[in-house]
C-alpha cells in the first residue's frame, strides 16, 4: 500500500499549484467544479494562470474575475440557464483583458486524450469549414515564447489513408501542470471513484503532471478495491487527496447535493458590477480561512435545501421552490 | 373555441412533431429539450434523448437547466463522458441516426450558426458562451434542427463568427469541406419553420404560425427569404399543449 496523500486543501495548493502554471479544471458547467480548491488558489494569491478546459462555469468565472487568468483555451463559458454566458468571462473578453482561443468540447477532450496517450495530436472531422479553424486567439510570438502553448492552434491536413481528397482536423496534445478534480469518493492512497457522468475528468487527470482530487467521502483503499472496475482514476496518478464535503458548492455533486440556484442567481447579479463582485470575492473567498467556514456563511438551512434525494441524486424542485 | 398558446409553446410543439420514434436526439437545454420531451410523451415514445456530457436515455423527471445537470444522470441507460458522446456522433454507424437540436445567436441563409461573439471576435461587443459541443454536433451528426428567435438582427447576411457549420456556402460546399454527413433540415423560430432547398441549400419558409403574415416574416429576416412555398403550421392540439404544460414543464422554468 502506498503512503497517504491525504492533506488539507491549503497544503495541496501550496505544494502543487504555482503562479504561471497551466491549469485544467474538472467538472462541466454547473456540476462538480472543484470549488474548495479554487477558493484556496484565490486565497493563496496564485496568479498568471493559463487555464485549459472545455465547459467552464463558476470556478473559471471566479479565477477570471479575480484577475488570475492570463491565457484561456476553452470551448464554453456558461452557468447553464443560470447565466447564459459567464459574467466575468464575458466582461474580461469584451474589455480585452483576457487572451482566449476558442475550441470545441470534443476538440478539447481530444487534446486531453492526446496528452494522456503521449501522442502529439488526434484527428477529428469537427469544425471543418468554420471560424474555429480560421480564427486564432494567440499571436506567433506568444506561441513561440510559451512552451505550454501549441505552435499552431490546429492543423487541417489530408487523410493519408484515403484515396479521396478528404481533409481532417488535427488538434494538438495538451499536458497541463495541474488538474483539479472534485469526486464523490476517494481513498487516501489516491484511488478515485466518480459517480454519474465523468465529463472529461479522467482525460484531464491522465494528461496532467500533477492531480489534486477533493472528495465528498473519504473511504478506505480496501473498500474501493472491492469493486476496482468501478474506480475512475488509479492511485498512482494522484498527488493529493483533500477530504472536503460540499467541496463543489455552489455547483452540484450528483448523489450528494444540487447546484445552489439561489446562490448562483445572486452571484450573477453581483458579478455584473465590478465593486459588488469584489465585495462578493472578499466576503465568500478571500476573507475566509477555509471551506468549512465558507459553508457556515452559506448556512445550514440553505445547504439542507439542496441536499440530494437518495432516490434521484438531486434535490426535488417542488420541495424547495 | 380558439386555443391560446405562446410562440415558445408553438416552437416546442413544432419541434416535437418533427422528431421520429426511431430518432436518437441530441439535446441542449431549453426549448429543444421541451420539444424532445413532448415528442417522447406523445407520438415518439421510443426516441432516445442524449447529451454531450455523456448521459444517454435518462429518466428526466424534472427539466435539466444545463446539460451537466444531475437531472440528466438519474435513471440513464449510460452515464459516460464527453469522449463517448462525441465519438458516438462521429461514428459511421451511430452518427447518421442522430438528430441534433441546436440554437445560436445568429444564423445565415445556409443555416450556419454563431454562438461565439458579436462584433470583431478578437475584441467583441458581446461575447457569447462559445461553441461548447455545438460545432461538434453540427459537424458530425446525421441531421440537425435549429431553434432561433426570429429577428432581423439574428437572421443575417454575414455571421460575425461561424461557430457551427450548416450548409456552409450552399450547394455542395459542405461535402467539399470534407464534412462527412449531416447539415440542418429545419429552423424552428418564433414565427415559423424554415427548411433548405434541395440543391441550392438556401433557407426558405416552409410553414408559418398564425401570429404573423408571410410578408412580415420576410421583413423580419435580414436576408432574402423565399416565402412562396409556405403553408400554415397547424395549431397545437389540446393534447400537445396539455403534455407540454402539465408533464414536461409544469413549473414553467423554460416556458415562462
Residue B255 falls within a domain, yes or no?
no
The pLDDT value recorded for residue B1 is: 59
CA distance B66 to A84: 10
Number of CB pairs, chain A paired with chain B, less than 8 A apart: 206
The chain A residue lying nearest B165, using CA atoms, is A130
**DSSP one-letter string for A151-219:** SSS-EEEE-TT-SS--EEEEEE----SEEEEEEEEE-TT--EE--S--BTHHHHHHHSSEEEEEEEEE-
Please state the rounded mean pLDDT for residues B130-139.
98
Winning range, highest mean pLDDT, from A118-127, A164-173, B31-40: A118-127
- The helix/strand/coil state of A104 is coil
Residue B254 falls within a domain, yes or no?
no
State how far residue A69 is from chain B, nearest Cα, in angstroms. 17
B62 touches chain A (CB under 8 A): yes
Question: In this prediction, what percent of chain B has a pLDDT beyond 70?
Answer: 100
- The band of A134, judged by pLDDT with boundaries at 50, 70 and 90, is very high
The pLDDT value recorded for residue A24 is: 98
B54 touches chain A (CB under 8 A): yes
Please judge whether B83 and A203 are an interchain contact, meaning their C-beta atoms are less than 8 angstroms apart: yes
Cell of A21: 502554471
Please give the DSSP secondary-structure letter assigned to residue A47.
Answer: -
Please state the rounded mean pLDDT for residues A50-75.
98
Q: Residues B184, B190, B196, CA angle at the centre, nearest 5°?
A: 25
Residue B48 falls within a domain, yes or no?
yes
Determine which one of B52, B157, B215, B247 is catalytic.
B52
Beta strands, E only, chain B: 24-26, 48-50, 55-56, 78-79, 98-103, 106-107, 113-114, 117-118, 126-127, 143-148, 184-189, 192-196, 203-208, 231-232
Phi first, then psi: give them for residue A51, nearest 5 degrees: -100, 130
Task: Give helix A35-43 / helix A58-65 axis angle, nearest 10°.
Answer: 10
State how far residue A165 is from chain B, nearest Cα, in angstroms. 8
- The band of A22, judged by pLDDT with boundaries at 50, 70 and 90, is very high
State how far residue B50 is from chain A, nearest Cα, in angstroms. 12
Q: Looking at beta carbons, which residues of chain A come within 8 Å of B163?
A: 130-132
Q: Looking at beta carbons, which residues of chain A come within 8 Å of B61?
A: 312
Residue B256 falls within a domain, yes or no?
no
CA distance B54 to B32: 18
Residue B94 falls within a domain, yes or no?
yes
The pLDDT value recorded for residue B211 is: 83
Residues A199-213 as b/e (b if ≥16 CB within 10 A, e otherwise) read bbbbbbbbbbebbbb
Residue B216 falls within a domain, yes or no?
yes
Q: In total, how many domains does chain B have?
A: 1
Please judge whether B66 and A79 are an interchain contact, meaning their C-beta atoms are less than 8 angstroms apart: yes
Please judge whether A27 and B68 are an interchain contact, meaning their C-beta atoms are less than 8 angstroms apart: yes
Place of cell 461557430: B163
pLDDT tens digits, B51-89 = 999 999 999 999 999 999 999 999 999 999 999 999 999
Which residues have a Cβ under 8 Å from the Cβ of A205 and sit 6 or more positions away?
A26, A179, A181, A192, A211, A213, A233, A237, A238
Question: In this prediction, what percent of chain A has a pLDDT beyond 70?
Answer: 98
Residue B128 falls within a domain, yes or no?
yes
The pLDDT value recorded for residue A321 is: 44
Please judge whether A129 and B177 are an interchain contact, meaning their C-beta atoms are less than 8 angstroms apart: yes
- The helix/strand/coil state of A235 is helix
CA distance B92 to B56: 18
What structural domains and CATH numbers belong to chain A?
9-305 (3.40.1080.10)
Which residues have a Cβ under 8 Å from the Cβ of A296 and sit 6 or more positions away?
none
Please state the rounded mean pLDDT for residues A176-202.
98
Please judge whether A166 and B72 are an interchain contact, meaning their C-beta atoms are less than 8 angstroms apart: no
Nearest to A100 by CA among A71, A62, A67: A71
Please state the rounded mean pLDDT for residues A54-61.
97
- The CATH number given to whatever domain includes residue B28 is 3.40.1080.10
Q: Looking at beta carbons, which residues of chain B come within 8 Å of A130?
A: 112, 135, 139, 162-165
Q: Looking at beta carbons, which residues of chain B come within 8 Å of A127?
A: 135-136, 139, 165
CA distance B47 to B16: 11
Residue A1 has pLDDT above 60, yes or no: no
pLDDT tens digits, B135-169 = 999 999 999 999 999 999 999 999 999 999 999 99
Q: What is the ipTM, given to two decimal places?
A: 0.97
Please judge whether B139 and A54 are an interchain contact, meaning their C-beta atoms are less than 8 angstroms apart: no
B191 touches chain A (CB under 8 A): no
Nearest CB to A75: which of B71, B79, B132? B132
- The helix/strand/coil state of B127 is strand
**How far apart, in Å, are the Cα atoms of A111 and each of A17, A56, A147, B95?**
21, 16, 16, 21
State how far residue A78 is from chain B, nearest Cα, in angstroms. 6
CA distance B83 to A303: 33
State how far residue B233 is from chain A, nearest Cα, in angstroms. 29
Please judge whether B180 and A93 are an interchain contact, meaning their C-beta atoms are less than 8 angstroms apart: no
Task: Return the number of other C-beta atoms located less than 10 Å from residue A129's C-beta.
Answer: 23
Please judge whether B161 and A93 are an interchain contact, meaning their C-beta atoms are less than 8 angstroms apart: no
Nearest CB to B82: which of A102, A131, A199? A199
Give catalytic status of residue B52 as yes or no.
yes
Please judge whether A254 and B73 are an interchain contact, meaning their C-beta atoms are less than 8 angstroms apart: yes
Residue B129 has pLDDT above 80, yes or no: yes
Please judge whether A126 and B140 are an interchain contact, meaning their C-beta atoms are less than 8 angstroms apart: yes
B73 touches chain A (CB under 8 A): yes
The pLDDT value recorded for residue A320 is: 45
Q: Within the 104-163 window of chain B, which residues sit less than 8 Å (CB to CB) from chain A?
A: 112, 116-117, 121-136, 139-140, 161-163
B52 touches chain A (CB under 8 A): yes
- The band of A184, judged by pLDDT with boundaries at 50, 70 and 90, is very high
Residue B56 falls within a domain, yes or no?
yes
Please judge whether B90 and A124 are an interchain contact, meaning their C-beta atoms are less than 8 angstroms apart: yes
Task: Look over chain A and give the mean of its residue pLDDT values, rounded to a whole number.
Answer: 96
- The band of A293, judged by pLDDT with boundaries at 50, 70 and 90, is very high
Could you list the residue range(s) of the whole structural domain that residue B166 is in?
A: 7-248
Residue A4 has pLDDT above 80, yes or no: yes
Which residues have a Cβ under 8 Å from the Cβ of B164 and sit 6 or more positions away?
A130, B102, B104, B112, B113, B115, B131, B134, B135, B137, B138, B139
Amino acid at each position: 500500500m502506498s503512503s497517504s496523500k491525504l492533506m488539507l486543501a491549503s497544503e495541496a495548493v501550496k505544494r502543487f499549484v504555482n503562479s504561471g502554471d497551466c491549469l485544467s479544471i474538472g467538472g462541466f458547467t454547473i456540476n462538480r467544479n472543484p470549488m474548495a480548491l479554487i477558493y484556496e488558489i484565490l486565497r493563496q494569491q496564485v496568479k498568471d494562470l493559463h487555464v485549459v478546459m472545455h465547459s467552464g462555469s463558476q470556478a473559471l468565472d471566479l479565477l477570471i474575475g479575480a484577475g488570475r487568468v492570463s491565457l484561456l483555451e476553452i470551448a464554453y463559458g456558461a452557468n447553464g440557464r443560470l447565466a447564459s454566458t459567464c459574467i466575468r468571462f464575458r466582461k474580461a473578453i469584451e474589455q480585452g483583458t483576457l487572451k482566449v482561443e476558442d475550441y470545441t468540447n470534443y476538440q478539447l477532450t481530444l487534446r486531453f486524450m492526446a496528452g494522456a496517450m503521449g501522442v502529439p495530436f488526434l484527428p477529428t472531422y469537427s469544425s471543418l469549414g468554420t471560424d474555429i479553424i480560421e480564427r486564432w486567439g494567440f499571436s506567433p510570438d506568444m506561441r513561440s515564447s510559451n512552451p505550454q502553448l501549441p505552435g499552431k492552434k490546429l492543423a487541417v491536413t489530408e487523410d493519408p489513408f484515403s484515396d479521396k481528397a478528404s481533409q481532417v482536423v488535427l488538434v494538438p496534445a495538451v499536458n497541463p501542470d495541474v488538474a483539479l478534480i472534485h469526486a464523490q469518493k476517494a481513498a487516501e492512497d489516491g484511488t478515485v471513484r466518480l459517480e454519474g457522468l465523468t465529463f472529461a475528468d479522467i482525460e484531464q487527470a491522465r494528461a496532467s503532471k500533477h492531480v489534486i482530487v477533493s472528495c465528498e467521502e473519504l473511504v478506505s483503499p480496501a473498500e474501493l478495491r472491492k469493486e476496482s472496475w468501478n474506480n475512475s482514476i488509479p492511485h498512482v496518478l494522484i498527488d493529493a487527496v483533500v477530504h472536503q464535503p460540499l467541496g463543489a458548492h455552489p455547483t452540484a455533486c450528483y448523489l450528494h447535493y444540487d447546484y445552489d440556484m439561489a446562490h448562483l442567481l445572486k452571484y450573477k447579479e453581483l458579478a455584473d458590477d465590478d465593486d459588488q463582485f469584489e465585495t462578493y470575492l472578499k466576503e465568500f473567498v478571500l476573507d475566509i480561512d477555509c471551506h468549512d467556514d465558507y459553508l457556515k456563511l452559506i448556512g445550514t438551512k440553505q445547504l439542507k435545501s439542496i441536499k440530494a434525494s437518495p432516490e434521484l441524486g438531486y434535490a426535488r424542485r417542488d420541495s424547495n421552490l | 373555441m380558439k386555443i391560446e398558446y405562446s410562440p415558445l409553446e408553438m416552437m416546442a410543439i413544432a419541434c416535437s412533431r418533427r422528431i421520429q420514434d426511431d430518432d436518437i436526439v441530441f439535446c441542449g437545454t431549453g426549448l429543444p429539450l421541451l420539444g424532445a420531451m413532448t415528442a417522447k410523451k406523445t407520438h415518439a415514445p421510443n426516441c432516445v434523448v442524449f447529451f454531450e456530457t455523456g448521459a444517454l436515455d435518462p429518466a428526466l423527471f424534472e427539466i435539466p437547466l444545463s446539460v451537466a445537470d444531475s437531472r440528466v444522470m438519474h435513471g440513464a441507460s449510460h452515464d459516460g463522458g464527453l469522449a463517448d458522446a462525441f465519438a458516438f456522433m462521429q461514428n459511421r454507424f451511430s452518427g447518421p441516426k442522430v438528430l441534433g437540436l441546436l440554437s445560436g445567436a445568429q444564423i445565415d441563409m445556409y443555416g450556419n450558426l454563431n454562438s461565439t461573439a458579436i462584433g470583431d471576435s478578437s475584441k467583441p461587443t458581446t461575447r457569447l458562451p462559445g461553441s461548447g459541443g455545438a460545432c461538434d454536433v453540427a459537424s458530425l451528426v446525421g441531421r440537425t434542427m435549429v431553434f432561433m428567435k426570429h429577428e432581423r438582427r439574428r437572421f443575417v447576411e454575414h455571421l460575425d463568427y461561424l461557430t457551427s457549420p450548416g450548409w456552409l456556402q450552399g450547394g455542395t460546399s459542405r461535402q467539399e469541406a470534407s464534412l462527412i454527413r449531416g447539415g440542418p433540415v429545419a429552423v424552428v423560430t418564433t414565427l415559423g419553420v424554415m427548411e433548405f432547398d434541395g440543391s441550392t441549400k438556401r433557407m426558405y419558409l416552409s410553414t408559418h404560425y398564425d401570429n404573423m403574415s408571410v410578408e412580415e416574416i420576410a421583413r423580419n429576416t435580414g436576408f432574402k427569404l423565399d416565402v412562396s412555398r409556405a403553408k400554415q403550421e397547424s395549431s397545437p392540439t389540446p393534447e400537445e399543449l396539455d403534455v407540454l404544460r402539465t408533464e414536461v414543464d409544469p413549473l414553467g422554468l423554460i416556458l415562462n
